[in-house]
Amino acid sequence: MRDALVRVHDGRIAAISNAAAATTPSDGTVVIDGSGLFLAPGLIDSHVHLNSIPGMTPEQQAKHPEIAKAARDQIPRSYLFFGFTTLIDLISAPEAMKRWKSRDIVPDTYFCGGAALMDGYPMNYSPKPQRYPGWPYMLIEPGGQAPDGIDPAMHTPEAVVSRMKADGAICVKTFFERGFGGVRNLPVPRLETIREVVKAAHAAGLLVLMHGSSDEAHRFGLDAGVDIMAHGLWNWSQQQSTTSEITPGIAKILDEEVAQDVGYQPTIQVLYGILDLFDDSFLSDPRLSRVLPQSLIDWYRSTEGQWFRIALSREQTPPATQKPAQPQRVQDDGLRRTMDRGKHAAAYVVARQARILFGTDTPSAPTYANQPGLNEWLEMGRLVDAGETPAQIFKSATLANAQALKLDKDIGTVEVGKRANLLLLRQDPTQTIDAYAAIVKVILNGRVLDPSELVANRTR
Ligand SMILES: [Zn+2]
């Protein structure tokens, strides 16, 4: 709509009319002149993890409380700086959500409960027995040996889903992952288990998302009837094969995902989060200082801050030749082929009008190379590379995400009655993703935020 006048009241859009019909605003009304600019709905990332600081373990956070605090204060602003007014944390619980939302400026946030199979991915990464309290919604299958003090009846699909629902989750996150890198052969859930999760979730009005990046996992997700696959399909079972062109077997799975209208989050940038760790210029990228406190960037440069890069390079190097303190370059061939496969799979489903949803998995893994806000913008660039147009990206990050998450009553468009989560942009977002790289104003539930309040390393 050209020459629009959008009136916001009490955090919601109260009226939309032609600017020519404007009357003198009442006292106390803030007027923003948007002449020559574009007003768009705020963006939605339907796959983030807000409980962690990228690249910093809980022990490291405890050791460097000031850096950790600066990071936690900045992270919500960094998402907003790049236009993300709504986030979905795919693995959370009420207490963590409460902590996240306690900040003054924070995007609207919803969460899924993480229904991991007991001791399967990604629970396996936290040490026993402390891992169990951290996974209140884990699944224990019939015949599974429950840890001391845990009642398996509380961990059936029905029990887990009803507890999540009562806790305020809008979705269930499930996992099908046998492992990668140095961890393989993790237990995976049975098909009946996830079918029961889907049944219970749908009965309770919750969506089901599944972590899975392999053909086996995407097949499993289709058979289980999940609503959204939370990663692109980049791990193909013929790992030895050097092809990254879509094979008939991969095409069959992707075709079925399109036919069944499964939501598809390509999450291409996830793999760059590994590759970029080994790029020595990454930490000098000036864009990082817009989303991260300088103290954290400096810490990433330290030997301690390089821990994940060192761990990954050890995995890749035969023990006899290991030089632990000297990170080696990852074996690019394998990773690059995996990345090409992910990109080709994304291009394949984009070309077939799949239900592409914008989700980034920020920050995936303990890498420091997927940073809030910036990572979303970089993902957009990867999607353009894979053939998605800026207009399609705009839709997948706004209306399509809102509909998929059943939040379209409140967000996803500029429409009377919806929340005033808005972006004022210099460029047309249906024409270029650069529109989000220099936002004029971010409006969050009616509160007008200037980028200078959101950028990291603000000068007071
Ligand atoms: Zn994730």
Quick: pLDDT tens for 150-168. 999 999 999 999 999 999 9
Predicted local distance difference test score (pLDDT) of residue 415: 98
CA of 424 to the centre of ligand 1 (A): 29
7-54 tens-digit pLDDT? 999 999 999 999 888 778 888 899 999 999 999 999 999 999 999 999
CA of 122 to the centre of ligand 1 (A): 10
Predicted local distance difference test score (pLDDT) of residue 207: 97
CA distance to 83, 263, 388, 426, 434, per residue, from 391 (Å): 16, 18, 8, 16, 12
Computed over its alpha carbons, how large is the radius of gyration of the chain?
22
Distance CA 450, CA 108 (A): 17
CA of 357 to the centre of ligand 1 (A): 14
Q: Is the peptide bond before 366 cis (omega within 30 degrees of 0)?
A: no
pLDDT beyond 80 at 147: yes
CA of 19 to the centre of ligand 1 (A): 43
**Number of neighbouring beta carbons within 10 Å of residue 315:** 12
Supply φ then ψ for residue 167, to 5 degrees.
-80, -5
417-436 tens-digit pLDDT? 999 999 999 999 999 999 99
pLDDT beyond 50 at 325: no
Burial of 41 (0-12, 13-18, 19+ CB in 10 A): buried
259-276 tens-digit pLDDT? 999 999 999 999 999 999
Percent of the chain topping pLDDT 90 = 85
pLDDT beyond 70 at 136: yes
CA of 452 to the centre of ligand 1 (A): 30
Which of 173-187, 285-299, 304-318 holds the top average pLDDT? 285-299
CA of 114 to the centre of ligand 1 (A): 10
For 21-180, where are the alpha helices, taking DSSP H only? 58-63, 65-81, 94-101, 157-167
CA of 359 to the centre of ligand 1 (A): 9
CA of 211 to the centre of ligand 1 (A): 7
Distance CA 118, CA 439 (A): 43
CA of 49 to the centre of ligand 1 (A): 7
| CB 356 within 8 Å of CB 350 | yes
CA of 212 to the centre of ligand 1 (A): 10
pLDDT beyond 90 at 376: yes
Supply φ then ψ for residue 295, to 5 degrees.
-60, -35
CA of 393 to the centre of ligand 1 (A): 20
190-217 tens-digit pLDDT? 999 999 999 999 999 999 999 999 999 9
pLDDT beyond 60 at 321: no
∠ CA 150-151-156, rounded to 5°: 115
Question: What average pLDDT does the segment 50-72 reach?
Answer: 95
Predicted local distance difference test score (pLDDT) of residue 322: 47
Q: What pTM value is reported for the model?
A: 0.95
